[in-house]
């Protein structure tokens, strides 16, 4: 699942044309743990091309470490790809994973 972190705001793209926005305080614990593990691994192999040139399929390719295949990885300075099970993704879509988040329909 693609995500973007910009100045303390997390944008989680949960479906085509739909995303949820979280702050540091409202980000669900499941996602906090994944971000922590990804950031702990560093970003030595992070893509260096400008974010404006990222291709959709590039986001879904782990170029960092095989250990991150079940967690997620950093794609660029602000973009991440998180690996979620169906229940967690479904809960994010319908808003039951964290009742305090703000959602935006595109």
22: containing domain: 2-105
At 103, the pLDDT band (50, 70, 90 cuts) reads very low
pLDDT digits over 56-91, tens only? 666 777 777 778 888 998 888 888 989 999 898 888
Asked if residues 10 and 4 have their Cβ atoms less than 8 Å apart, the reply is yes
Q: Which residue has the higher pLDDT, 49 or 66?
A: 66
DSSP symbols for the chain: -EEEEETTEEEEEEETTEEEEEETTTS-HHHHHHHHHHHHT--TT---S-GGG--HHHHT---S-GGGTTTEEE-SSSEEEE---HHHHHHHHHT-S-TT-EEEE-
**Total domain count, the chain:** 1
pLDDT for the residue numbered 106:
35
């Amino acid at each position: 699942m693609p995500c973007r972190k910009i100045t303390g705001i997390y944008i989680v793209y949960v479906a085509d044309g739909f995303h949820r926005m979280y702050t540091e305080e409202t980000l669900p614990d499941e996602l906090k743990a994944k971000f922590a593990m990804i950031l702990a691994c560093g970003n030595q192999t992070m893509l260096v091309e400008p974010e404006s040139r990222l291709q959709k399929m590039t986001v879904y390719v782990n170029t960092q470490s095989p250990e991150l295949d079940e967690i997620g990885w950093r794609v660029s300075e602000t973009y991440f790809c998180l690996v979620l099970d169906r229940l967690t993704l479904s809960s994010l879509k319908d808003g039951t994973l964290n009742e305090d988040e703000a959602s935006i329909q595109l």
